[in-house]
Amino acid sequence: MFCKLALKNVRRSVKDYSLYFLTLLFGVCVFYVFNSLENQWVMQALNSNERGVSYTGAILQLVDVVSAFVAVVLAFLILYANSFLLRRRKKELGTYLLLGMEHSRIALLLSLETLVIGLAALVCGLVLGFFLAQALSAFTAALFRIRVEQFYFVFSWKGVAKTILYFGVIFLLVMLLNVVTVARQKLIHLLQANRQNQSLKLQSLRASLVFFLLGVVLLAVAYAMLLQRGLLRVDRIFLLMLALGTAGTLLFFRSLSGFLLRLGRSNKKLYYRELNMFVLRQFNSRITTHYLSMTVVCLLLLLAIGITACSVGVNNTVESNVGRDAPVDMTLRVEDYDYENFAEELPGYLAQVGFDPETELTAYASVTRYVVDFPLAQPVTVQGEVYENRVIEYAMSLSDYNALMAIQGKGPYILEPGTYGVVEGTEEHQTAHLFWEAGAQFVLNGVTYSPDPDFRTSGAYFTSDIRLSSLFIFPDGFLESLPKDQYAFCQYFLAGNYAGDADAAEDALWASIDDLHTVITQHQGTQSSSFSLTTYLSLYTEGMGTKLLVLFLGLYLGIIFLVTSAAVLALQQLSQAADNVERYRILSRLGVEESMRDRSSDIQVFLAFFLPLVLAVVHSIVGMKAANDVIAQLGKLDTVASSAVTALFILVVYGLYFLATCWSSRRILRDL
């Protein structure tokens, strides 16, 4: 009998349960999507690639840690939503008591209803999460350029078990809360729940002004500390900064109760227009009692905006850095081979081990980079330091540098006789271009070389996973004719772009590297001190690993915080609409049109949703300025893209909750 009654109550109250059910559904869906990553085919594909092992494990471990935090946030949200539903049904519960039903039986009835709603949300959320997980896998595969021979669906039983475990504990807490709540209720309070009015306590204008000014000062101090210190120094002062910002936000909302109503009253035309007087007094009373929850919602929105924008900003920066640091598809580096024509013979050695540059690469260049001990013609001062005799720097011949630029679609470059040029790398502590700027002159083989004022370029000239040093460029034949005691050592590079299928060429190249060292050693009879291969795809995969990690965690937390804040506001407004039913019934009897009543309800919802959002946006602008200073250290930051994506994200999720709340509030107030 109780099962039938519970099902009947759920069907009868389906309108009241709609937002509660949707919040549960969305929570289950997102939770399953991110906790099923381990079993998704895209993660298996990345794990099968030796370049993907290092970060897929880190992603899964961090998702597990974040999921525990997300579960706590969702638990508070669901408990809050459940308390809203209990408040809506107090009169119904009082009727059950009046008919002779015991408290324990009512608690059992509520537990059964919670079980029904929970099971329905779990099933629907898991089904929706199953399809979204496949979409996320396809998106991840596109990021990593993984070829999919055959697409197949994966249902993660581990993700299902984890979702059921976490949400099962949450629903158990909800049931226990229902038992405690029902046991503490008295019949008279339940029956008169809808008749209890909230007293309106107006705060003095002087106190409101003091709170407002104090809140603004605290926020200004917190902003200044954040912009000056940045985000990376987490210490006691950082915690003080967070406390000041939170207190400033709290005082701001606390002061509104003394401003809004008085501002409205000061404009008689506005105050007495339609139902504005009613709306302002209702909203003013809500701020007086709910300023604490509005503060929490504002901070949650700040986290949602900040985390989402930062994740998008980091992703764009990481992706742009790959193109900057990888201008060609592959670079093979060999150091310290004491052999005169080694750069010319390196392609032949590579062909012997199964990777022929003539067929596997569309264009390539085999070049030599020298580390030269340059004698100075006269002392030169660089950054306050005086160089008397000599300086050691990298150097390359003009023809070799032009060969590297040709495969990148750049050049050719020209040097005037008796001059040298400079290429600025990406290393922070580089000096070659500083000597060029200082006008340093070098005497080599009896010839004095001066800086060419028209030869100064910048950017990467190899595919490299390290910062590239600056480089001197000298005329052809000069470096090659230097005596061996004139330079410290040489580095030999073979750089090029793949022909045809890049993935197949990449696999063939990595497969041949192990044998290359043996072949070179057999021919030269010497051992190299350094032997390395770096490719665009390896850098891309490594960079996309960071991108994927930040993207997953950013979206995971951003969605949860945004949904939590929107759901709390929605439930508060629906609770207010339920409390206002009697008031709107009186307005209806006084002849107020339905359209006017609907408009007044929409205005209250709008104020509740967008006041916290406006302050959260102000907070996030300052926070993003500090975050951008950190992100910009990785490379150029695309703030427009991160802001646009975040705005779209908020518009969709937050906007849908706003529209759903307006519709639900109207429906409640129309049932007069």
pLDDT in tens, 299-318: 888 888 888 777 776 666 66
Q: Domain tally for the chain?
A: 2
Most confident segment among 3-17, 272-286, 360-374: 360-374
Domain that holds residue 164: 1-196
The predicted model gives 577-594 an average pLDDT of: 78
Does residue 225 carry a pLDDT above 60? yes
- 240, 266 in Cβ contact below 8 A? no
The DSSP call for residue 376 is B
Q: What is the DSSP string of 313-330?
A: HHHHHHHHHHHHH-SSSE
Per-residue pLDDT tens digits for 2-53: 566 666 666 666 566 677 777 788 788 888 887 887 776 666 666 555 444 4
Last residue in a domain, options 498, 528, 558 = 528
Question: Is the residue at 607 inside a domain?
Answer: no
Q: Rounded to an integer, what distance in angstroms lies between the CA atom of residue 93 and that of residue 611?
A: 35
Most confident segment among 25-29, 290-294, 495-499: 495-499
The predicted model gives 466-495 an average pLDDT of: 77
Last residue in a domain, options 162, 196, 230 = 196
Looking at residue 51, what is its pLDDT? Answer: 45
Question: Is the residue at 107 inside a domain?
Answer: yes
Question: Is the residue at 563 inside a domain?
Answer: no
Q: For the range 341-344, what are the long-range contacts, defined as Cβ-Cβ under 8 Å and sequence gap of 24 or more?
A: 342/368, 342/490, 342/492, 342/524, 343/367, 343/368, 343/492, 343/493
- Which residues lie below 8 Å from residue 545, measured CB to CB, with a gap of 6+? 52, 54, 55, 56, 59
For the ranges 312-326, 350-364, 449-463, 519-533, the lowest mean pLDDT is seen at 312-326
Q: How many other CB atoms sit within 10 Å of the CB of residue 440?
A: 25
- The helix (H) or strand (E) run that includes residue 382 is strand 380-382
- DSSP 3-state assignment of 463? coil
Last residue in a domain, options 152, 176, 196 = 196
**What region, left, alpha or beta, does residue 451 occupy, with left being phi > 0 and alpha being psi -120 to 50 degrees?**
beta
Q: Is 239 exposed, middle or buried (0-12, 13-18, 19+ CB in 10 A)?
A: exposed
Does residue 97 carry a pLDDT above 60? yes
Q: What is the CA radius of gyration of the chain?
A: 34
Question: Is the residue at 235 inside a domain?
Answer: no
Does residue 579 carry a pLDDT above 70? yes
Percent of the chain predicted with pLDDT > 70? 73
Question: Is the residue at 652 inside a domain?
Answer: no
Does residue 201 carry a pLDDT above 60? no
Q: Of the candidates 658, 671, 670, 654, which has an alpha carbon nearest to the alpha carbon of residue 602?
A: 658
How many residues comprise the chain? 672
Pinpoint the alpha helices (H) of 580-593. Answer: 581-589
Reported confidence tier of residue 88, pLDDT bands at 50, 70, 90: low
Beta bridge partners of 2: none
Q: Rounded to an integer, what distance in angstroms lies between the CA atom of residue 165 and that of residue 31?
A: 11
Looking at residue 429, what is its pLDDT? Answer: 55
Does residue 533 carry a pLDDT above 50? yes
Looking at residue 129, what is its pLDDT? Answer: 84
Looking at residue 439, what is its pLDDT? Answer: 86
Q: Rounded to an integer, what distance in angstroms lies between the CA atom of residue 240 and that of residue 250?
A: 15
For the ranges 111-125, 316-330, 480-494, 617-631, the lowest mean pLDDT is seen at 316-330
Number of alpha helices (DSSP H) and beta strands (DSSP E) in the chain: 21, 11
Question: Is the residue at 238 inside a domain?
Answer: no
Reported confidence tier of residue 664, pLDDT bands at 50, 70, 90: confident
CA angle 31, 36, 41 (to 5 degrees): 145
Q: Of the candidates 57, 74, 225, 34, which has an alpha carbon nearest to the alpha carbon of residue 567?
A: 74
Extract the tokens encoding 213.
């000014």
Strands 390-397 and 471-474: parallel
Question: Is the residue at 443 inside a domain?
Answer: yes
Extract the tokens encoding 94.
């009082």
Per-residue pLDDT tens digits for 129-177: 888 887 777 766 665 556 655 556 677 788 888 888 888 888 888 778 7
Whole-angstrom CA distances from 560 to 23, 62, 206, 283, 553 are 10, 16, 39, 27, 11
Question: Is the residue at 287 inside a domain?
Answer: no
Looking at residue 662, what is its pLDDT? Answer: 86
The predicted model gives 462-488 an average pLDDT of: 73
Backbone φ and ψ for 493, nearest 5 degrees, come out as -130, 140
